[in-house]
Amino acid sequence: MEEFKLTIKGISLTRSELSDADEQLLKSAEDASKNAYAPYSQFYVGAALRLENGTIVLGTNQENVAYPSGLCAERVAIFSASTNHPNERIETMAITVNTTKSSIVDPLSPCGNCRQVIMEYQHKQKSPIRLILASQSDKVWIFEDAAALLPFGFEADYLKNS
């Protein structure tokens, strides 16, 4: 048996260390999270995408009493961008979460479904999607490529050989 190790490449910094553009995008995600529909979990997620033309597209999580019927903020934003701006690449996505149930100190990563969707759109646009993750604290994580969060993602190329 051979053992291997994965390294996730990203940076951790504080909000005050963000560029003005990144701070603005994160603020947009935070503002969007206030419009999330999360009556069951009280887990309010906001996502903000900056497209290559400078347009900001927002998304929030939308819960449903039948849990599988809801949708995450990341997918809401990506699908909205794809529908309304089909030829624009996503440069950066900021994602934030807040809740009144507990204090979330570390930034949270998108769920597995969202990671897979982000990777699909990264593959579709043939360029990386930069991610800014934040929570209720001052800590921010930045990943220059969404592949850092899904190192074994399922890719369309796999289907060509089946």
Taking the CA atoms of residue 93, residue 97, residue 103 and residue 105 in that order, the dihedral angle to the nearest 10 degrees is: -10
Q: How many Å from the N-terminal Cα to the C-terminal Cα in the chain?
A: 28
74 labelled catalytic: yes
Catalytic residue among 30, 63, 74, 91, which? 74
Rounded Cα distance, 54 and 85, in Å: 11
Six token digits for residue 74: 């990341």
Helices 112-125 and 73-84, packing angle to 10 deg: 30
- Cβ proximity of 70 and 63 under 8 Å: yes
Q: Where do runs of H (alpha helix) occur along the chain?
A: 20-33, 73-84, 112-125, 157-160
> Which residues are tagged catalytic?
74
